[in-house]
A and B are shown apart, each in its own frame.
Chain A
C-alpha cells in the first residue's frame, strides 16, 4: 500500500521503547539504524533484545528484522493481541523498563493482558514496580481504564544484579479513552511509602522509615511508610533495600520518589538512614516540581491524551523531563499531533517551581484490535 514513504527512520538506540510503542500504536513501520555502531560492543543489548521479544509476544503479526551485527532494526507492527503471557526480563534493567511500555500498550489489546514478568523489580535506574503501581495505575484510571482487573502485584522482589523478582500485571481493554481536564493538582494530604529490604536485616527498613519521617514530618503529620521485608523464595537472588515514597493530594494526584541501595558488589555500602533522608528529599524535590502527574509518568499521560477522542484534554505538569520532550517530538512524527505548551507561574509563592500546561486535541484513536460480537 502506501508503503515505504510511510516508514519512519531513526538512528541510535536511545528512546527505543518510545519508538516501538508508538509504532505499534500508530501502525507505522519503523527503521532504526546505527545502533551503537561506533562502539566496541555494537548492536542491541540483551535488555533491548528482551524488550523486542516482549513486543513480539504481545502483538500478532509483527515483523522484526535485525541485521547480523544488531545495529539495524526494522519493525513492522502487527496488531496488539494480549492474553495470558509470561516474560523473563533481562536483569540488566529493571522490570519497570518493560512495564512502562506495557502500560502504554495494555489498554489497546485484543484480549485483556495478563502477564507475569520476571526480573529486577527495584533498581537505581528505572522506575520501580512499586512506584508504577502507586502512580501509573491511578493515572490510567483517570482515562477510564479501570476495573478490578487493573492491577500490579509483586509476587517476589528481586534486586540487581541477579534479580529473581516476579510481578503480575493485568489490565482490561478499552475501545476509547476519555478526555481529561487535569489542571488542579490540589494540596498534598498524605504521604505514603514502602521501605523494602530483601536478604538483609529487617531492621534496615525501620531505620529508613525513621530518617525519612524525620524530614517529612516538618511538612505533614499524615505519613505512613510501610515496611516490607520479604523472605525465602519471594526475596529474589540478591540482597538490597530501598524505599519509595508517594505524596497524594486531595485531588488524587500522586507524586513519587524512590531510591534503592547500590547493587551487591557495586559501589560503596549505603547507610539506610542516609538513603531514607535522601529519598525524602527527592520527594520534596518532586513536590517542588509539582504538576498533576509524576515526572516519571509524564509521557504516559501525554500518550493517553493523544490517544483520546477528538476532544480537548489538558494536563498540568511540572518541568518537562528530557524523556518527555523527546516523547513529544515522537508523538508529532508518529501521530502528527502537537501540544499547546503554556508555562504557568504559580500566583502564590510557596507552591514550588513553574508548571507547564499541556493541551491537545485527541486523534480519535480507537482500539482496532478489540473484537465486537
Chain B
C-alpha cells in the first residue's frame, strides 16, 4: 500500500524553473541565445543600411546634446542664504499647520502664531526660510519671484482649485522654482478604493502641470491638530536634501525677503506732520547677486527707492560651526522669526514689544539695535538751536556709518557726541599747537584751522583738568585717555620747538609732520631699547602719536598714567615693536631701490634739485612712504582692535594738517613740501589731472611732483584713487547737501579746483620728462621687456631645449635612415651644465648623484606621461567640456580672489554678497507703508540692474491665456507683473507684418501670439511677464489674462493703423482723371505724389500732380478708364501713440485687511457699466433687414443669321402653338342609339362582375401560398436540426481521433528527443 502511495517525480514542463533548465541545457550545447548568435555569426548582424546607421547615430547624438544645459559660472556663495520655502494653497487647506509642524520637526519649538517668514536651521549645511502665501494674487506673484521651493498644498477631498493653477502659471512665467505637491485632508475619505483613485487622479494631473514624476506627498490624517509625525519628518527630509536649479532672474538680481522692519523717522518730524515720508530699516538675508550700496531697489507693492545705507550684521540664525558630527544638537537648532516674535521683536498695530526672554539670537539682536536707538535718542534729546542740531546730526551720521558689532564702538557711543567730534579735530589741533607762534606769523593758514587750533587750546585746558582728576573712576578712563593725549601732545610740541636747532630735529620735523615715520621710529626704538618706562604707553590706538607719547612719558612721569596702563597696552606695544622692526627693514629695502629709480625715473626732479636736497629728499620721501605704509598697517592693526574707520580718519586728518604746518618750517624743503601738499590734496580725492597747459608752466615742479607720486604710489594707490573708506562714507553722506559731488569736495583753494574742473579733457598719459635713453643704464632698465632679453627659467627657450634634448634626444631620420643619438644624460650634463657638474663633483658624494639621477628619471617619466595624456585625453574633450572647464576655472577664481580679505573690505570690492544678513536703510518711504504694516504680507526688496529703474517703451510677445474667458482690448488698462514689479499700464496690441510694419490690433487674437507695446519700466529682454485685469477681490474664474516675454526696449516705437483716404473723379479723360475730395491742400498732395491709388472696382493708378482749381484735387493716371461712379482711395498708415501711463500697484500701502483690494484705472467698459451709460452706436453700423428685389432677366435673343448658322441641335426650337383648328377640320360628336346604349351598359356591368371575380380568386391564391410556405419552413427547420446533430457527432469523433493522434505523436517526439 505504502509503495503505491508514493508519488512519482515529474520533471517540470513549464514555469521559470523549467525555462532555466532548458536554457542551461541549450547553453551547454552552444546554441540558443541571440547574443550567442550575434557572436557566432557576426556577419549576419552588420550594417544593413548606411543611411539608417547614420540616422540612428544622429539621433543618439541629438539626444545626447539635448541633455546639455548651457554651462554657467557657478556663483553660489560658500555659505548660501536660507532656502525660501513658500507654502501655497487655497484657504483652509492646512498651510499654517504644515509650517508649524515643519518648524516643530526641525527645531522642537512650537510657534503659536506665525507672521511673516520664519528662518530655521534645518541641517548642518542648510537653513530654511518658510513663508506662507495667502490667496491674494499680489502675494502669490511676489512670492513666486523669490521662492526656491514651493510646497503646494492641495485639498484632496475637494481637488484642485483655481489658486493652485494660478500659482503654477505665475511660477512658469517668473522662472520655475522646484515644486512639491502635498495632499491634505486625506482622512475624509472613508472608502479606501475611492481614496486610491483620487490620489492617482490628482497625481497625474499634477504631473501634467509640473513635470512627470514630480514629488507629491500625502499627509494622511491629523493627530491632535497636527499632521502625523513620521510624514512630516519625511517631508522635512525631502526638503533638506533638495537640489535647486539656478533661475535666471534670481541669480542676476540681488533680493531680500525682509524679516524685520523698523522705523527710524525722527519723531519730531512725525509729530509735526504725521503724513511725512518715513525712513525705515529692513533686515533680511541677501540672496541672488551681490548688492551694492546706494543702488536702486524696488519694493513690490510700495515702489522704487534708492538704498541709503547697507550694513551687514552677524547672522541671527547661523549655521553651526565646522563640526564633524552627524546631527545638530539642540543649541544649534535655531529659529528666527522676528515678525512672529521669535528671536526679536513683536509688532503690533501701534506698538513694538521686545521679547526679553527670547532665544540666543535675541541677545545679538539687541546690540545691533542699540546704535539706531542711540541715534534716535540723540535726535530726540537735543533741545537746542538748529545749527547745533545740524552738528549733532552730522555726528550721529558718522556714528551710524561706523560698522556695528564691535564693543568698542558701543563704548564710544557712551561718550558725549560733541566731545567725540572735538576729539577728532584735536588730532589736528594738537599738531598745530606746535607751530602756534609761527602760524600767527603766517598768512597761509586757513581760517578753519585756526578755529581748530582754538578749540585745541580749549582742549588743552580741559585736558589739564582731566589729568588732575583722572584717577576718579574706570568708566571715564577712555575719554580721559584721549584728553591726556591732547595735553601731552601740546607739551611735546612746545618742547620740540626748543629742540629745533638740533640736527635731529630737522630730520624729524617733516617726518613728524607726516605722521609716524621711520626716523621717528628709529629714534623711538632706541628709546625703547633703553630700560625706560615704555610700558606707560597706553595710547597705542593712535599709533601715529607714539613718538610723542614716549617723550612725554619721560617728561611727566606722573603716577596717573602708570595707573592707566594696562595689559592690553603692553601687548599692543609688543605689536608695535615688531612693526617698527618691519618698518626698518622696509626702509632698508626701499632706499636703494628708490635711488635706482631716481636715476631712471621719467618724472623725477632736476639734477640740481636732486643734488641740493638729496638727503632731505631721501629721508623725507622715505618718511612719507613709510608714513603711508604705516598708516595702512595701522589700519590693519586698528581693525584688529575694532577701531576701524574712525582711526583711519583721524590719522588722515592729522596727516593733512601736519603737512600744512610743515611748509612754514623748513625753507630747504619748502618747494618739495608744496608738492607734497598738493599731493596730499590728491589723497583727498583731488582730481589732479596734470592738464597739458599746467605742466607746461613749471616743468621742474611738475617733475618733482611726478617723482613724488611715483614714490608714494606704492602703498597709497588705493587711497589716491578712492580716498580712505571713512572719508568715502563721509563724502557720500555730504554729497546730498553739497552739489559739487564727492569728487571735488575738498578743502583747498578754489582756484586750483576750478582749473582742474575745467582743464583739458585728454586721455593721453603725457610723459613729463623723457629719460635719457642713450644712457646704458636707462636702456638696461627695460632690456628684459624684449624677446631678446633674459627669460624666466621656465620659459627660456635655450633651457627648455636643453631639457628636451635630454628627453627626446634620440630620433631616427626616416628619409635618410640616419639615426641621431641624443647626448647621453651624463654627456649632456657634461656639455650643457659643466659648472653644475663641477659643483657636484666638488661635493663628490655618490648619494646625491644617485638621487639626482633618480630624480631625472622620474622627471623623464613624468614628462612622457604628460605627453601621453595630452595626446590621448584630448580626443574626448568636446567643445562642451572645454566650456565647462572654463566656467569652472572662473568660478574658482571668483571664490579665491577675495577670500582672504575681511568682510569690510570685501564688501567694498564685491558689494554685499548673498548669504549675508543685512540691514538696509531706505528713506522717503510713504507713511502708509509704516502705518498699515501687516507682517502677513511679504516685504521684498528687489535690486534693480543698471537703467532698470528707467522707463521707456517695452515691446512684448503676448498671448492671451487660453483659460481666460474674455479677449483683451487695446487701450484697456492691464496690470502686468514684470521683473520685480507689478504695475498697471495701457498696452497696445499689434501684429508684425511681413515687411516689419507693426499694425495695430483692436483685440488680442484668440489662440495666437501677438505683439504688445506699453510705456513702463525698462526690463531686460527675455524676461517673462504675466497680466491680470484686476488684483482686487476674488472671482471664480481664472485670473491670469495673458502671459509672454519681453522682446525689445526702446525710447520710441511706431505702431500704425490703416487709414484710407477716399476721393471722387470729377473729370475723366482716357486713362487720366482728375480727382477731388481726397486732400485738403496742394501741400498734402505734394506729399503723396507717386503714391499708389486704387478704385473700388480694382483699377490701379498713381497720384501725379496737384491741380490748382479745386483745392486738394490732383491728376492721377490709371491702368484703365474710370467711371464717374467710381470711388478712388489711397491706403496710408497712421502712427498711433502709446499712452504714457505707468502706475505701480501699491497694494502694501492699503490699510490692513484691504490689501487685496487695490484697484487702479478702470476700463471704459467698467465705467460705462457702473454708471449705466449706454454706448452710442453709429447708425450705419447697425444691422437692418435686407430687402432683396426680385431680379428680372430679359429673354435671350439670338439673331436670325446666327440661328441659321447653328446646327439643328442648337437651334432654338420655338415651336409655335397650334392655332385654332379650322371649322372644317373639326371632328363631329358621336351620338349613340338607345340600343347601343343598352349594349354598352351591359358590357360594362359584365366587366365589373368579371373584375370582381378575378380579384377574389387572386386573394384566395395568396392565402394558399402562405399556408404552403409555412409548412415548408417548418420542414426545413427540422431538416437543419437533424443535419446539425449529425455534424456534431462527426466532429466529435474527428476531434477525439485528432487528440489521440497528437498525444501519440508527442510521446513519440519526447522519446525521440531523449534518445538523441
Among the 9-residue stretches B510-518, B741-749, B1254-1262, the one with 4 or more Cβ atoms under 8 Å from chain A is B741-749
Q: Quick one: which of B767, B781, B894, B911 contacts A336, CB cutoff 8 A?
A: B911
Closest CB in chain B relative to A6 CB, distance in Å:
6
> Please, how many angstroms separate the alpha-carbon atoms of A8 and B294 in the complex?
12
Whether A352 and B785, one on each chain, are in contact in the complex, defined by CB atoms closer than 8 angstroms, is yes
> Please, how many angstroms separate the alpha-carbon atoms of A11 and B742 in the complex?
11
- A329 contacts chain B at the CB level, 8 A cutoff: yes
- B28 contacts chain A at the CB level, 8 A cutoff: no
What chain A residues lie within 8 Å of B1103 (beta carbons)? none
Among the 9-residue stretches B688-696, B1074-1082, B1114-1122, the one with 4 or more Cβ atoms under 8 Å from chain A is B688-696
Closest CB in chain A relative to B71 CB, distance in Å:
13
Complex A-B, nearest 3 residue pairs according to Cβ-Cβ distance, in ascending order: A12-B757, A61-B1051, A27-B947
Closest CB in chain A relative to B1053 CB, distance in Å:
10
Instruction: Please judge, given known A-B contacts A1-B951, A126-B762, A356-B717, whether A27 and B946 are in contact too, CB under 8 Å.
Output: yes
Whether A299 and B788, one on each chain, are in contact in the complex, defined by CB atoms closer than 8 angstroms, is no
What chain B residues lie within 8 Å of A262 (beta carbons)? none
Whether B741 and A333, one on each chain, are in contact in the complex, defined by CB atoms closer than 8 angstroms, is yes
- B908 contacts chain A at the CB level, 8 A cutoff: yes
- B602 contacts chain A at the CB level, 8 A cutoff: yes
> Please, how many angstroms separate the alpha-carbon atoms of A139 and B735 in the complex?
35
What chain A residues lie within 8 Å of B290 (beta carbons)? 310, 361
Closest CB in chain A relative to B872 CB, distance in Å:
28
Query: What are 19 A-B contacts defined by CB distance under 8 Å?
Result: A14-B756, A14-B760, A14-B761, A16-B761, A26-B947, A36-B758, A61-B1051, A97-B762, A100-B763, A281-B773, A296-B765, A299-B763, A311-B893, A320-B713, A336-B293, A336-B294, A343-B713, A353-B601, A371-B1021
What chain B residues lie within 8 Å of A289 (beta carbons)? 602, 765
Instruction: Please judge, given known A-B contacts A9-B741, A329-B721, A372-B1048, whether A348 and B689 are in contact too, CB under 8 Å.
Output: no
Q: Give 8 new A-B contacts, CB below 8 A, not counting A125-B692, A332-B722, A348-B784.
A: A14-B758, A219-B788, A285-B770, A350-B782, A350-B783, A352-B781, A368-B1020, A370-B1021
Q: Which residue on chain B has the smallest CB distance to residue A321?
A: B765
Q: Quick one: which of B740, B762, B770, B1052 contacts A281, CB cutoff 8 A?
A: B770
> Please, how many angstroms separate the alpha-carbon atoms of A370 and B691 in the complex?
38
| A-side interface residues, number (CB < 8 Å) | 107
> Please, how many angstroms separate the alpha-carbon atoms of A359 and B894 in the complex?
11
Among the 9-residue stretches A140-148, A181-189, A192-200, the one with 4 or more Cβ atoms under 8 Å from chain B is A181-189
Whether B773 and A10, one on each chain, are in contact in the complex, defined by CB atoms closer than 8 angstroms, is no
Binding site for B on A (CB under 8 A): 1-2, 5-6, 8-17, 25-28, 33-36, 38-39, 60-62, 77-79, 97, 100, 110, 125-127, 179, 181, 187-189, 215, 218-221, 250, 278, 280-282, 284-285, 287-290, 295-296, 298-299, 309-312, 319-326, 328-329, 332-333, 335-341, 343, 345, 348-354, 356, 359-361, 363-366, 368-373
- B401 contacts chain A at the CB level, 8 A cutoff: no
> Please, how many angstroms separate the alpha-carbon atoms of A181 and B710 in the complex?
25
What chain B residues lie within 8 Å of A366 (beta carbons)? 252, 945, 1020
Whether A27 and B950, one on each chain, are in contact in the complex, defined by CB atoms closer than 8 angstroms, is yes
Q: Which residue on chain B has the smallest CB distance to residue A29?
A: B950
Q: Quick one: which of B305, B688, B717 contacts A343, CB cutoff 8 A?
A: B717
Whether B949 and A340, one on each chain, are in contact in the complex, defined by CB atoms closer than 8 angstroms, is no
What chain A residues lie within 8 Å of B687 (beta carbons)? 14-15, 322, 325-326, 329
Whether A1 and B1017, one on each chain, are in contact in the complex, defined by CB atoms closer than 8 angstroms, is yes
Closest CB in chain B relative to A317 CB, distance in Å:
10
Whether A27 and B949, one on each chain, are in contact in the complex, defined by CB atoms closer than 8 angstroms, is yes
What chain A residues lie within 8 Å of B1049 (beta carbons)? 79, 368-369
> Please, how many angstroms separate the alpha-carbon atoms of A38 and B784 in the complex?
50
0 or 1 for each of B1047-1077: is its CB under 8 Å from A? (1 = yes): 1111110000000000000000000000000
Q: Which residue on chain B has the smallest CB distance to residue A307?
A: B946
> Please, how many angstroms separate the alpha-carbon atoms of A288 and B757 in the complex?
30
What chain A residues lie within 8 Å of B780 (beta carbons)? 350
Whether B765 and A295, one on each chain, are in contact in the complex, defined by CB atoms closer than 8 angstroms, is yes
Whether B758 and A35, one on each chain, are in contact in the complex, defined by CB atoms closer than 8 angstroms, is yes
> Please, how many angstroms separate the alpha-carbon atoms of A363 and B254 in the complex?
12
Closest CB in chain A relative to B1012 CB, distance in Å:
15
Instruction: Please judge, given known A-B contacts A321-B765, A322-B690, A370-B1021, whether A338 and B908 are in contact too, CB under 8 Å.
Output: yes
What chain A residues lie within 8 Å of B946 (beta carbons)? 25-27, 335, 363, 365, 368
What chain A residues lie within 8 Å of B949 (beta carbons)? 1-2, 6, 27
What chain B residues lie within 8 Å of A370 (beta carbons)? 1021
Q: Quick one: which of A13, A337, A359 contacts B761, CB cutoff 8 A?
A: A13
Instruction: Please judge, given known A-B contacts A350-B781, A350-B783, whether A325 and B721 are in contact too, CB under 8 Å.
Output: yes
> Please, how many angstroms separate the alpha-carbon atoms of A311 and B893 in the complex?
8
Instruction: Please judge, given known A-B contacts A26-B946, A369-B1049, whether A311 and B890 are in contact too, CB under 8 Å.
Output: yes
Closest CB in chain A relative to B588 CB, distance in Å:
15
| B-side interface residues, number (CB < 8 Å) | 97
- B99 contacts chain A at the CB level, 8 A cutoff: no
What chain B residues lie within 8 Å of A321 (beta carbons)? 763-765
What chain A residues lie within 8 Å of B947 (beta carbons)? 26-28, 77, 368
Q: Quick one: which of B295, B689, B722, B910 contacts A361, CB cutoff 8 A?
A: B910
B809-855 with Cβ < 8 A to chain A? none
Whether B289 and A310, one on each chain, are in contact in the complex, defined by CB atoms closer than 8 angstroms, is yes
Q: Quick one: which of A8, A110, A288, A298 contacts B602, CB cutoff 8 A?
A: A288
Instruction: Please judge, given known A-B contacts A5-B306, A188-B786, whether A338 and B760 are in contact too, CB under 8 Å.
Output: no
What chain A residues lie within 8 Å of B924 (beta carbons)? 5
Q: Which residue on chain A has the smallest CB distance to residue B791?
A: A187
Q: Quick one: which of A188, A288, A323 contacts B771, CB cutoff 8 A?
A: A288
Whether A15 and B761, one on each chain, are in contact in the complex, defined by CB atoms closer than 8 angstroms, is yes
> Please, how many angstroms separate the alpha-carbon atoms of A351 and B710 in the complex?
16
Whether A17 and B761, one on each chain, are in contact in the complex, defined by CB atoms closer than 8 angstroms, is yes
- B685 contacts chain A at the CB level, 8 A cutoff: yes
> Please, how many angstroms separate the alpha-carbon atoms of A296 and B1018 in the complex?
34
Whether B1047 and A79, one on each chain, are in contact in the complex, defined by CB atoms closer than 8 angstroms, is no
Q: Quick one: which of A110, A187, A325, A364 contacts B789, CB cutoff 8 A?
A: A187
> Please, how many angstroms separate the alpha-carbon atoms of A329 and B720 in the complex?
10
Listed residue (B252, B909, B1047) with the most chain A CB atoms within 10 angstroms of its CB: B909
- B1236 contacts chain A at the CB level, 8 A cutoff: no
Whether A9 and B739, one on each chain, are in contact in the complex, defined by CB atoms closer than 8 angstroms, is yes
Q: Which residue on chain B has the smallest CB distance to residue A48?
A: B761
Whether B784 and A220, one on each chain, are in contact in the complex, defined by CB atoms closer than 8 angstroms, is no
What chain B residues lie within 8 Å of A2 (beta carbons)? 296, 304-306, 949
- B599 contacts chain A at the CB level, 8 A cutoff: no
Q: Quick one: which of B289, B718, B898, B1022 contacts A341, CB cutoff 8 A?
A: B718
0 or 1 for each of B768-781: is its CB under 8 Å from A? (1 = yes): 00110100000111
- B580 contacts chain A at the CB level, 8 A cutoff: no
> Please, how many angstroms separate the alpha-carbon atoms of A290 and B304 in the complex?
45
Listed residue (B304, B713, B761) with the most chain A CB atoms within 10 angstroms of its CB: B761
- B503 contacts chain A at the CB level, 8 A cutoff: no
Whether A329 and B722, one on each chain, are in contact in the complex, defined by CB atoms closer than 8 angstroms, is yes
Whether B782 and A328, one on each chain, are in contact in the complex, defined by CB atoms closer than 8 angstroms, is no
What chain B residues lie within 8 Å of A295 (beta carbons)? 764-765
Listed residue (A13, A298, A353) with the most chain B CB atoms within 10 angstroms of its CB: A353
Whether B784 and A350, one on each chain, are in contact in the complex, defined by CB atoms closer than 8 angstroms, is yes
What chain A residues lie within 8 Å of B936 (beta carbons)? none
> Please, how many angstroms separate the alpha-carbon atoms of A278 and B951 in the complex?
52
Whether A319 and B1020, one on each chain, are in contact in the complex, defined by CB atoms closer than 8 angstroms, is no
> Please, how many angstroms separate the alpha-carbon atoms of A326 and B759 in the complex?
13
Q: Which residue on chain B has the smallest CB distance to residue A343?
A: B714
> Please, how many angstroms separate the alpha-carbon atoms of A78 and B947 in the complex?
10
Listed residue (A187, A218, A299, A321) with the most chain B CB atoms within 10 angstroms of its CB: A187
Whether B757 and A350, one on each chain, are in contact in the complex, defined by CB atoms closer than 8 angstroms, is no
Whether A323 and B765, one on each chain, are in contact in the complex, defined by CB atoms closer than 8 angstroms, is yes
What chain B residues lie within 8 Å of A100 (beta carbons)? 763
Instruction: Please judge, given known A-B contacts A189-B787, A220-B786, A356-B717, whether A1 and B950 are in contact too, CB under 8 Å.
Output: yes
- B551 contacts chain A at the CB level, 8 A cutoff: no
What chain A residues lie within 8 Å of B320 (beta carbons)? none
Closest CB in chain A relative to B892 CB, distance in Å:
10
Whether B721 and A360, one on each chain, are in contact in the complex, defined by CB atoms closer than 8 angstroms, is no
What chain B residues lie within 8 Å of A343 (beta carbons)? 713-715, 717
